[in-house]
Amino acid sequence: MKPIQPAERKVANIFDESAFTHYDETGESGTSFIQLNPNAKQDVGFYIYRMAPGAQSTPHRHGGAEEFLIVQGELIDNDGTVYKTGDVVWLDGDTEHTSHTETGCIVAVYSEAEEYAPGT
């Protein structure tokens, strides 16, 4: 078995502030992410999504299915559904929503495809 080379591995800690990249360019305030795969498009594949208390996501439509695990905190969808620590969620492709958090949250996400503006 060949050893894993340094360029073939990345490690980040979800409790390390410096591991996160802020979503400033999308207009979302208080949101950030960790995505280790340098070959993946942003927000496609596996990534960690973090929202500060009071933050809200941009309204969006899923280009493919999305699955996520609430690692810490609570996330509230625009229809009032509350996801709590430990909840595992599946959303079908083409679903549209926006989410917010009162407490802040950390979410482990797997997204099959890019997101789009609602109605597109």
Over the stretch 87-120, which tens digit does the pLDDT of each residue have?
Answer: 999 999 999 999 999 999 999 999 999 999 898 7
- CATH number for the domain including 91? 2.60.120.10
Residue 65 counted as domain residue: yes
The counts of H helices and E strands in the chain are: 0, 11
Residue 78 lies in a domain: yes
How many domains does the chain fold into?
A: 1
State residue 28's pLDDT score. Answer: 72
Has residue 14 been placed in a domain?
no
Domain presence at residue 41: yes
Within-domain flag for 3: no
51-68 burial: b if 16+ Cβ within 10 Å, else e: beeebbbeebbbbeebeb
Determine the Cα–Cα distance for residues 85 and 33; give it in Å rounded to an integer: 18
Do the domain assignments include residue 99?
Answer: yes
* 73, 106 Cβ separation under 8 angstroms: yes
Domain with 58, as residue range(s), is: 31-116
- Judge whether 52 lies within some domain: yes
Cα end-to-end distance, the chain, whole Å: 47
Query: What global pTM score does this model have?
Result: 0.92
Q: Phi-psi region for residue 50, left (φ > 0), alpha (ψ -120 to 50) or beta?
A: beta
Instruction: Read off the pLDDT of residues 13-69 as tens digits, 9 standing for 90 and up.
Output: 999 999 999 986 666 789 999 999 999 999 999 999 999 999 999 999 999 999 999
The whole-number pLDDT of residue 62 equals 93
Is 107 part of a structural domain of the chain?
yes
Please report the pLDDT score of residue 103 as a whole number: 96
